Amino acid sequence: MSNQNASTPASNSIQDGIRHAPGGGAALMHPGDVALLLLDHQTGLFQTVKDISVSELRVNTAMLAKLAALMKLPVIQTASEPEGPNGPLMPEIKQFAPHAVFVHRKGEVNAWDNEAFVKAVEETGKKTLIMAGVWTSVCVMFPALDAMAAGYKVYAVIDASGDPSEMTSRTTLARFTQAGVIPTSANAVLCELQRTWNRKDAAQFAQLYTMVAPNYGAVMESYGKAQEVARQQHEAPAEVARSR
Q: What is the mean pLDDT of residues 44-69?
A: 97
In a domain, 111, yes or no: yes
What would the pLDDT profile of 223-233 be if each residue is shown by its tens digit?
A: 777 777 778 87
Shared domain check, 132 and 63: yes
Mark residue 17 as left, alpha or beta (left: phi above 0; alpha: psi -120 to 50; beta: remaining).
left
| CATH number for the domain that contains residue 169 | 3.40.50.850
Q: What is the mean pLDDT of residues 186-213?
A: 95
Shared domain check, 42 and 92: yes
Residue bearing the bigger pLDDT, 238 or 192: 192
139 catalytic? Reply is yes
- Is the pLDDT confidence value at 191 over 90? yes
Shared domain check, 227 and 170: no
The CA-CA-CA angle for residues 111, 51, 153, to 5°, reads 40
Describe the strand order of the beta sheet including 101-104 as a list of residue ranges: 101-104, 75-79, 34-39, 128-133, 153-157, 182-184
Q: CA dihedral defined by 11, 17, 20, 22, rounded to 10 degrees?
A: 10
Residues spanned by the domain of 217: 202-243
Number of domains in the chain: 2
- Measured from the Cβ of residue 54, the count of other Cβ atoms closer than 10 Å reads 16
Q: What is the mean pLDDT of residues 75-90?
A: 90
Selected catalytic residue, list 68, 97, 139, 156 = 139
Whole-number pLDDT of residue 70: 98
CA–CA separation, 133 and 46 (whole Å):
10
Residue bearing the bigger pLDDT, 238 or 80: 80
CA–CA separation, 54 and 113 (whole Å):
27
Shared domain check, 216 and 190: no
- Contact, 43 vs 90, CB < 8 A? yes
Shared domain check, 226 and 179: no
